Structure formats: structure tokens, C-alpha cells
């Protein structure tokens, strides 16, 4: 087995060394998770609920520790990291209500009784990316455990520390080790075994559209269930009748949160032509005001990128772009070590420009004007993605028309909020498949079984 040195993206100093598991250890853990299924699914609903609540309580008691670990291991701002650890607690608490509510139905039939059961799908493999290591892990394991599935979870190679800690906290809460196991390692090794091993019956994958597409194709060979949360190129549509001050003041936070490494980043701003210049004038001070600093500081609003490789990828859209890119203005970033990149606003020359079409996954936002409502919707939809988006207008009818017109799973009006643990989250088109969170997620961890009992 090899090891991986986790690097603090803000300082480039080593944080910890993690053992990477190999295929053999992964398969053994999957076999144990499979063997544990009968016992876990027959834990009385109230007891499974109690275990999940206990897990939530243990996470709650460690929010600050988990948050500090995420600051060092992933460069998240401390404010965000506290929210993220709290989100794991909240998602566990929310789904702890599920075991006692996994209802079946009784359907009228002749000559007997017809019943449906929500059976656990089996062993679930959760594959987590590096951009939100804690919440994305929780969105997979909490509903899966509640539904009576056992879980193996692979954190991203770059950011394994908080997932490993969550695995320890689960044990402390009394969840058996074979019921929930965190397996650090490479995607090409551990992740691949999740996809290839037939004992894993469902994959929850979050990451790039490219890898997600390959995972889905391989899973199809076994008709293995998949939930996919993939990339995005979401639009922030600003109409002339909007509260422009508010739209401009909040736009940076709709895209630069987590240094833009967010699948929901509103990385295309569409502005009605009549207010385009005014909006840019208002946007400039807002972008320059984003506090980019040591992510451990309480007032930090943006930290570094995750890695040197990610910074190179982001630069390829701006300063190292093949086609020239017009930078309108930028914020600041600290000098010295760390994978820093300043918040950057670019003005594409055409809707075919790479920076307008492809996911940057960094603090770069592109702004273009539109003529009218129809063109705004057409431009917003002119992408292979469909994850989130925002609509700024004071006209309620228009807000609803545009919200219905934009092909996207998560939209907000006069706000940039995307994620609440009790509402569904997921993408249209190549942004994904299935929904996480909210009441709908449980269905993707269960199979409906129909049983007819003859009474005549």
C-alpha cells in the first residue's frame, strides 16, 4: 500500500500522511459490508434512528475540530468549514427520521392483499470529490444508512482527513465498522473497485462529468444503480428591473465561494443590455471587496485553490488561454506560498469562448449582455450542464417564467442559495442523474418490492 501526503493549500506545508488502500483491502471491506447487511437492515427502526441521532450528536460535539481540519487539509474558510461540519450533523439528524417512516403501500387487489416494501438496495459505494469533502460524504452515507444499506466511502485523494475522522466518530457513536467504512485511496484503485465489484449495488458519485460518465457506463454493465452529481456552468441572470445594488453585491459570493470550486458556482453572469455598464460598475467594488486571506481567519471570505494543478487549470482559462481573454477587473490574493488565485471577472468576446462554455472550477466569472427574456433563457440553456442558477428581477411573473424555462435542477430568485438539506438537489442534462437530499433521496437507496398475499 502506498501513502499520500496531504498538503495545506494555504501554506504548501504537509498536514498528514495517509495510507492509500489497495484493491485487495477494498474488496475485503466490501465483502464485510455485504456480510453485515442482514444484521443492519434488521436493526429495529427506532434503534437505527437512535444510532443516527447519536452519530449526529458526536459530530456536533466535534464541529470545531472537523472545521479546523478542513481549513488545513482543504483550504476552506473557517466560516464555511463550520457550516459544512454542521451540515453533516443536520443531514444525519434529518435522515434519522427516516427509518420509522420508510412506508410501503397497500394496494387494492382481488383475492388477497397487495403490499409494497422499501427494501435497502444493498452495499452503497460513495465516491467523494475534493471540493466539499464533508457535506458530499454526508449526503451519501446518511440516507443510505437510514435506508438500511451498508456503506463504503472513498474520499478524494487530496482531501481524505475529515472523512477519516467522520469514520472514527461513527464508530464512537456505535455504528459497527462493517456498516460504515471510510476507505482512503486513489479513484483508479478504490473507486474503481466500488464500480467493478458486483457486491456494491449502488454508486453515489460526485465529481467531474468526464469521470462520472465513465462510472455510469461501467455501472451499466451490471445494471448497478447510480446517483451522479457532476459539473456545472450556471447562469446568474440579472434583469434591468432587479435591485441592481443587491444583485451586484451578492454576485461575487454566488461564484467565488470556496474559491469557485463549487459545482453550483454561478460562473456566467447574464445582464440585460440596458443595465450592463451600470451593473459592471457596481460589480467592481464588490469583487475587490472579497476578503481573500488565510482561511483560518474568522473574516476570511475566500481561501486558496486546492492544488498547484488546479491553479494551472484555472490559469489556462485566463492568462494562459489560447484565445485572448479580456479581464475586466480582479480582486486581490495574498503573495507568497499557497495556491492563491484572485477573484477575476472576464468579458468573453463570443458565446463560443472556452471561458463561457467550460467549467473553470476556480474564481473566474464571465459576464455577457442579453437583449430580452427569451434571449436570457436561450443563453442560460446554451450549455451541456444544468445544475443551478439565479434570477434577479422584481417581476414575480417573469421570475416564475424564467425559473420554469431554465433547464436546471436548482434555481434561486433574488438569492444565490442552492442547498438546503431538506430540499432536493441535483442536475439536469450532463450535470447529473438523480436527486440527493430532501425527501426524494431515500428512494434511490431502496428498491420497491411488491408482495401479493392470497386470502381466498
State the minimum distance, in angstroms, from the CB of residue 356 to ligand NDP. Answer: 15
Among 187, 252, 343, 409, binds ligand NDP (CB under 6 A): 187
> Judged by CB under 6 A, which of 122, 167, 207, 386 binds ligand NDP?
207
Look at strands 268-272 and 364-370 and give their pairing.
Answer: parallel
70 scored as a contact of ligand NDP (CB under 6 A): no
Q: Is 411 helix (H, G, I), strand (E, B) or coil?
A: strand
Within residues 337-376, the interface with ligand NDP by CB under 6 A covers 359, 361
Q: Using CB under 6 A, pick the residue from 26, 131, 227, 388 that binds ligand NDP.
A: 131
Q: Return d(Cα 55, Cα 57) in angstroms, integer.
A: 5
Among 32, 154, 181, 266, binds ligand NDP (CB under 6 A): 154
At 292, give phi and psi (nearest 5°). -105, 110
Q: How is residue 104 annotated by DSSP? A: -
Grid cell for residue 182 = 471510510
Q: Is 358 known to be catalytic?
A: no
Beta strands in 320-360, from DSSP E residues, in sequence order: 326-330, 344-347
CB of 188 to ligand NDP, least distance (A): 5
Q: Where is 117: in which H helix or E strand? A: strand 112-120
User: Does residue 353 contact residue 367 with C-beta atoms inside 8 Å?
Assistant: no
Interaction between residue 314 and ligand NDP (CB under 6 A): no
Biggest CA–CA distance in the chain, Å, is: 81
Does the protein bind ligand NDP through residue 208 (CB under 6 A)? Answer: yes
Stretch that binds ligand NDP, among 76-84, 92-100, 186-194, 278-286 (CB under 6 A): 186-194
Asked if 263 is an active-site residue, the reply is: yes
388 binds ligand NDP, rule: CB under 6 A: no
Name beta bridge partners: 228. Answer: 205, 433
148 vs 187 by CB, closer to ligand NDP? 187
Which of the residues 178, 263, 264, 359 is marked catalytic?
263
Can you tell me which of 231, 254, 331, 426 binds ligand NDP, judged by CB under 6 A? 231
Catalytic-labelled residue, pool 229, 301, 359, 436: 229
- Contact between 129 and ligand NDP by CB under 6 A: the answer reads yes
* Bridge partners (DSSP) listed for residue 270: 237, 368
Helix (H) or strand (E) holding 34: helix 23-35
Q: Give the cell for residue 57.
A: 450528536
Non-local (6+) Cβ contacts of 409 within 8 A are 386, 387, 388, 424, 425, 426, 427, 428, 431, 432, 435
Grid cell locating 406: 431554465
Cell of 170: 461513527
Nearer to ligand NDP by C-beta: 85 or 230? 230
The stretch among 141-149, 174-182, 204-212, 252-260 that binds ligand NDP (CB under 6 A) is 204-212
| Part in contact with ligand NDP (CB under 6 A); list of ranges 126-134, 234-242, 338-346, 418-426 | 126-134
Inter-CA distances, 95 with 54, 146, 445, Å: 12, 6, 12
User: What minimum distance in Å lies between the beta carbon of 154 and ligand NDP?
Assistant: 6
**Residue 397 contacts residue 375 (beta carbons within 8 Å):** no
Which residue in the shown chain puts its C-beta closest to ligand NDP?
187
Residue with cell 436548482: 410
Q: Among residues 50, 53, 68, 186, which is the contact residue for ligand NDP, using CB under 6 A?
A: 186
Candidate segments 49-57, 227-235, 267-275, 349-357, binder of ligand NDP by CB under 6 A: 227-235
Q: How far is the CB of 255 from ligand NDP (least distance, A)?
A: 14
Query: Which of 80, 87, 206, 234 contacts ligand NDP by CB under 6 A?
Result: 206
Question: What is the spatial distance between Cα 394 and Cα 411, in angstroms, rounded to a whole number?
Answer: 16
Residue where the block lists cell 465513465: 214
Choice between 339 and 361, CB closer to ligand NDP? 361
All 3 cell numbers of residue 382? Answer: 446554451
59 part of the interface to ligand NDP, by CB under 6 A: no
Which residues of this protein are in contact with ligand NDP, per CB under 6 A? 127-131, 154, 156-157, 186-188, 191-192, 195, 206-208, 211, 215, 229-231, 263, 313, 359, 361
Q: Write out the catalytic residue numbers.
A: 229, 263
Amino acid at each position: 500500500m502506498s501513502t499520500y501526503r496531504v498538503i495545506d493549500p494555504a501554506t504548501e506545508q504537509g498536514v498528514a500522511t495517509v495510507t492509500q488502500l489497495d484493491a485487495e483491502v477494498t474488496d475485503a471491506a466490501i465483502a464485510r459490508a455485504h456480510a453485515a447487511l442482514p444484521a443492519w437492515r434488521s436493526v429495529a427502526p427506532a434503534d437505527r434512528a437512535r444510532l443516527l441521532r447519536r452519530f449526529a450528536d458526536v459530530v456536533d460535539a466535534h464541529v470545531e475540530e472537523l472545521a479546523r481540519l478542513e481549513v488545513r487539509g482543504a483550504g476552506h474558510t473557517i466560516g464555511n468549514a463550520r457550516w459544512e461540519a454542521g451540515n453533516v450533523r443536520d443531514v444525519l439528524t434529518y435522515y434519522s427520521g427516516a427509518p420509522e417512516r420508510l412506508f410501503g403501500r397497500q394496494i387494492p387487489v382481488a383475492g388477497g392483499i397487495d403490499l409494497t416494501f422499501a427494501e435497502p438496495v444493498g452495499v452503497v459505494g460513495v465516491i467523494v470529490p475534493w471540493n466539499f469533502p464533508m457535506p458530499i460524504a454526508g449526503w451519501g452515507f446518511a440516507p443510505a444508512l437510514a435506508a438500511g444499506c451498508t456503506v463504503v466511502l472513498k474520499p478524494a485523494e487530496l482531501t481524505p482527513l475529515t472523512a477519516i475522522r467522520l469514520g472514527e466518530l461513527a464508530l464512537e457513536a456505535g455504528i459497527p465498522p462493517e456498516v460504515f467504512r471510510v476507505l482512503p485511496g486513489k479513484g483508479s484503485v478504490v473507486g474503481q473497485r466500488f464500480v467493478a465489484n458486483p457486491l456494491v449495488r449502488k454508486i453515489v458519485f460526485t465529481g467531474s462529468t468526464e469521470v462520472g460518465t465513465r462510472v455510469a457506463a461501467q455501472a451499466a454493465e451490471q445494471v448497478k444503480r447510480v446517483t451522479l452529481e457532476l459539473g456545472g456552468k450556471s447562469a446568474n441572470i440579472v434583469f434591468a428591473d432587479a435591485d441592481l445594488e443587491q444583485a451586484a453585491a451578492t454576485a461575487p459570493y454566488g461564484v467565488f465561494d470556496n474559491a469557485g470550486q463549487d459545482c453550483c458556482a454561478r460562473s456566467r453572469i447574464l445582464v440585460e443590455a440596458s443595465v450592463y455598464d451600470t451593473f459592471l460598475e457596481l460589480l467592481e467594488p464588490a469583487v475587490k471587496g472579497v476578503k481573500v486571506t488565510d482561511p483560518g481567519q474568522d473574516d476570511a471570505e475566500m481561501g486558496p485553490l486546492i492544488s498547484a494543478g488546479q491553479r494551472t487549470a484555472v490559469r489556462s482559462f485566463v492568462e494562459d488561454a489560447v484565445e485572448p481573454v479580456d479581464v475586466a477587473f480582479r480582486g486581490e490574493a495574498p503573495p507568497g506560498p499557497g495556491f492563491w488565485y484572485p477573484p477575476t471577472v472576464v468579458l468573453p468576446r463570443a458565446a463560443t469562448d472556452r471561458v463561457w462554455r467550460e467549467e473553470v472550477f476556480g474564481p473566474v466569472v464571465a459576464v455577457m449582455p442579453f437583449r430580452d427574456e427569451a434571449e436570457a433563457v436561450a443563453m442560460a440553456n446554451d450549455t451541456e450542464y444544468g445544475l443551478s442558477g439565479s434570477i434577479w428581477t422584481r417581476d414575480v411573473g417573469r421570475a416564475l417564467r424564467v425559473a420554469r424555462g431554465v433547464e436546471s435542477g436548482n434555481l434561486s430568485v433574488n438569492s444565490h442559495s442552492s442547498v438546503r438539506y431538506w430540499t432536493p438537489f441535483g442536475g439536469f442534462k450532463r450535470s447529473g442523474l438523480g436527486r440527493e437530499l430532501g425527501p426524494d433521496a431515500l428512494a434511490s437507496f431502496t428498491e420497491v418490492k411488491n408482495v401479493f398475499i392470497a386470502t381466498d
